Amino acid sequence: MMTIFNGKNKISTNQLIRYSILVYWSLFWLLNIVDKIIGGSLFLWVGRDRFAQFQRFFASAGLESPLIADFALVIAAGLEVFAFVFFTGSLIHFFKKSVESSRSWFLIGICFTLITFTIFSIGDHVFGDRFELLEHTLFWFLALFSWVVFIRLDRSQATEELKISKRQFMGASIVAVMLVMATSVSIFNYNDNFFFRRTEPVVAEKVGENIYKVSFPFLGGSTVFEKTIEKFKNENPDKKIDHIYTVPNELRLKKADALIFYIVTEDKE
């Protein structure tokens, strides 16, 4: 049996991968359920407003009553809950070395997952959302693939060992520690020197008669925008903002440019 270390730890790599599959799907559905219970955004949780999404989908098909979105969401939540319960049950059985039970529970979890994503895909066709169709088809496939990997690893009897020598282990640790230190220093340094970009106003550069360019830093958000406008108004009391033109993505230099906008003004009478 293939093992990670030759010492006391006798867990096989096959078992580790199977644990990973069970933990992944259990957490996947648990967090989906938590997202539905919370609903909107809270401190430490943004999530996705599924009610708004469902409501907009059904409204686009002429079904504007919130009861329909509620009903669809409850059905989806029910499927997700049972997928979570069976994956977690499978994980518990696997932990207790009850491999056959774990396999049966996992299959039921997979069935709930496949049903959920099949229904979602049908919805994507009806509501014409091709991106979500691709997303749900990929998840459907991942569930199917997880099942095959899970049962394949059940039968697989690998013989090679994954022994790591002490010298290699030490070498890898030293390189890793050095890289972690270099990365951490760089990140903390960047935070110290550039976090002000998250809050400080940006200077508007005059590029033509009554036209000013504002090039946002990547960290800029609505606070920077508001402070920039305030600063511009204070520095140009004789100018009136006529309109703001946001440079579309097509005119930006790929990822090198963040948000760019022009303030078009006119002289105050």
Which of the stretches 147-155, 160-168, 186-194, 204-212 binds another protein when contact is defined by CB under 8 A? 147-155
Q: Is 99 in the site for another protein (CB under 8 A)?
A: no
Which of the stretches 5-13, 163-171, 174-182, 256-264 binds another protein when contact is defined by CB under 8 A? 256-264
Q: Is 85 in the site for another protein (CB under 8 A)?
A: yes
Query: How near is the Cβ of 32 to another protein at its closest, in Å?
Result: 10
Are 140 and 119 within 8 A, CB to CB?
no
Q: Is 203 in the site for another protein (CB under 8 A)?
A: no
Query: How near is the Cβ of 142 to another protein at its closest, in Å?
Result: 10
Among 111, 153, 210, 215, binds another protein (CB under 8 A): 111
Query: How near is the Cβ of 7 to another protein at its closest, in Å?
Result: 34
Are 80 and 50 within 8 A, CB to CB?
no
> What residues numbered 117-136 form the site for another protein, per CB under 8 A?
117-118, 121-122, 125-128, 130, 134
Looking at residue 12, what DSSP letter applies?
A: B
* Tokens (6 digits) for 164: 């790591």
* Tokens (6 digits) for 48: 């996705």
Query: How near is the Cβ of 158 to another protein at its closest, in Å?
Result: 17
Question: Torsion-angle region of residue 101: left (phi > 0), alpha (psi -120 to 50) or beta?
Answer: alpha
Closest by CA position to 104, among listed 92, 118, 115: 92
Strand ranges of the sheet holding 260-267, from the earlier edge strand across to the other edge: 205-208, 211-215, 260-267, 239-246
Q: Closer to another protein by CB, 3 or 73: give it.
A: 73
> What residues numbered 11-50 form the site for another protein, per CB under 8 A?
33, 36-41, 46, 49
Query: How near is the Cβ of 69 to another protein at its closest, in Å?
Result: 7
Q: Closer to another protein by CB, 166 or 243: give it.
A: 243
Among 1, 11, 74, 158, binds another protein (CB under 8 A): 74
Contacts of 266 (CB under 8 A, 6+ apart): 210, 239, 240, 242
Which of the stretches 11-19, 170-178, 186-194, 218-226 binds another protein when contact is defined by CB under 8 A? 218-226
For residues 24-54, one letter each, b for 16 or more C-beta atoms within 10 angstroms of the residue's C-beta and e for the rest, the string is ebbebbbebeebbeeeeeeeeeebeebeeeb
- From the CB of residue 76, how many other CB atoms can be counted at a distance below 10 Å? 18
Using CB under 8 A as the binding criterion, the count of chain residues that bind another protein stands at 80
* Binding map of another protein across residues 228-247, x = CB under 8 A, - = no contact: -xx--x------xxxxx-x-
Q: Closer to another protein by CB, 4 or 114: give it.
A: 114
Q: Is 63 in the site for another protein (CB under 8 A)?
A: yes
What does DSSP say about strands 205-208 and 239-246: parallel, antiparallel, or unpaired? unpaired
Give me the amino acid identity at 127: F
